[in-house]
């Protein structure tokens, strides 16, 4: 049996792409013929992922299965709707368009269109999401409750295997006496990087000037980038706030290894993979209680709501300096990580294929 996966973009370091690669590995291990397609294929993925136009040859293959990863509007949604075989949607959530208003008109339009089309995808055989929060959005969009489910994110094993590959960087980052804050993810407005910077400002200015904030993730909205750069300059944090851009898996592991704290201030998340990465590396998490973040954390980490920057900075200081508290938080995070491991995701994938009447693996 052939199982295809189709998505918007394929590149290393992207959570959706990593999820797709891990699913592909399981499908092949279970004896399926597996293919992956994307509208945008980064050079490093050439040979593993094919351009989405190549999928058109399989549109009429009634015995095939298509797993469609949906996270933003892309023209290949028409291929999903036209496919004659069994169709499984994996909804990774689409950032509400208003977050991009005034920053990027093209992204605002694509997110708005992607959300408007979501209800039309309910014609599929099964609608899956990587969190209960996202699954509820499918039901609200018109998907029958009994045709939905949760498929947890597969965290890339390759990334964890690379965790010691950038040891030299980790040593450079871990300078004596310096405290390292870390926030990971695309540098986009819904991530509220400006709030992280303001919280860090209070910590750096009034609690511990021997500290740095590393913002690790792709920067591709020039107006928002300029706004953040101006904010850093206005607060006198040049040299203390470092934007790394997109990094390799090995370098990302080094940033986690050197981090004293992971801060997530995002206003909208469908899952939030950096929370899981922080759990793996033993980095205490301080995160905003919003959208899917509480679900992903479970009873782990420390959540904040709309407290002032001063109060959140004090919470950060406690997580860094109170050793018994720090150990307790890290222990709870490791317990939560066991609930979200690859075995659970693999079992959910197998169950989803059974529900869609297309499981014939071992």
Domains assigned to the chain: 2-155+342-355 (3.40.50.2000), 161-339 (3.40.50.2000)
Q: Which two tokens stand for residue 30?
A: 């279970």
Task: Give residue-wise pLDDT tens across range 158-170.
Answer: 556 555 557 788 7
What stretches of 185-329 adopt beta strand conformation (E)? 211-216, 241-245, 261-264, 285-288, 302-304
Task: Give residue-wise pLDDT tens across range 303-329.
Answer: 999 879 999 999 999 999 999 999 999
Dihedral pair phi/psi, residue 108, rounded to 5°: -60, -45
Burial 150-180 (b: 16+ CB within 10 A, else e): bbbbbbbeebeebbeebeebbeebeeeeebb
Q: How far apart are CA 274 and CA 14, in angstroms?
A: 11
143: left (phi over 0), alpha (psi -120 to 50) or beta: beta
- The whole model's pTM is what? 0.92
Q: Are strands 2-10 and 33-41 parallel, antiparallel or unpaired?
A: parallel
Q: Find the mean pLDDT for residues 203-232.
A: 97
Share of the chain above pLDDT 90, in %: 83
């Amino acid at each position: 049996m052939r199982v295809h996966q189709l998505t918007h973009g394929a590149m290393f370091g992207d959570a959706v792409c990593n999820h797709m690669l891990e699913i592909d590995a399981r499908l092949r291990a279970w004896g399926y013929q597996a293919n992956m397609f994307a509208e945008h294929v980064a050079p490093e993925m050439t040979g593993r992922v094919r351009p989405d136009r190549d999928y058109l040859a399989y549109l009429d293959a009634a015995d095939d299965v298509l797993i469609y990863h949906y996270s933003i509007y892309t023209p290949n949604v028409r291929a999903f709707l036209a496919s004659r075989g069994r169709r499984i949607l994996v909804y990774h959530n689409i950032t509400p368009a208003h977050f991009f208003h005034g920053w990027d008109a093209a992204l605002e339009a694509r997110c708005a269109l992607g959300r408007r089309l979501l209800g039309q995808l309910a014609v599929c055989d099964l609608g899956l999401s990587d969190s209960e929060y996202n699954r509820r959005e499918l039901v609200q969009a018109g998907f029958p409750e009994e045709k939905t489910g949760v498929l947890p994110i597969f965290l890339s094993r390759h990334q964890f295997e690379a965790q010691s590959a950038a040891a030299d960087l980790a040593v450079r980052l871990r300078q004596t006496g310096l405290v390292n804050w870390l926030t990971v993810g695309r540098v986009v407005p819904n991530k509220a990087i400006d709030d992280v910077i303001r919280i860090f400002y209070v910590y750096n200015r009034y609690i511990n000037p021997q500290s740095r904030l590393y913002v690790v993730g792709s920067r591709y909205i020039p107006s928002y980038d300029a706004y953040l750069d101006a904010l850093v300059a206005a607060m006198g944090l040049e040299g203390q706030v470092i934007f790394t851009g997109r990094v390799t898996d090995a370098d990302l592991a080094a940033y986690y290894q050197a981090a004293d704290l992971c801060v997530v201030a995002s206003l909208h998340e469908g899952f939030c993979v950096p929370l899981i990465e922080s759990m793996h590396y033993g980095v205490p998490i301080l995160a905003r209680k919003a959208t899917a973040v509480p679900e992903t954390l479970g009873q782990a980490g420390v959540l904040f709501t709309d407290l002032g920057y001063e109060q959140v900075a004090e919470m950060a200081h406690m997580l860094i300096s109170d050793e018994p508290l720090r150990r307790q938080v890290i222990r709870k995070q490791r317990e939560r990580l066991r609930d979200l491991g690859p075995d659970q995701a693999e079992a959910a994938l197998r169950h989803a294929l059974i529900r869609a009447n297309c499981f014939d693996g071992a």
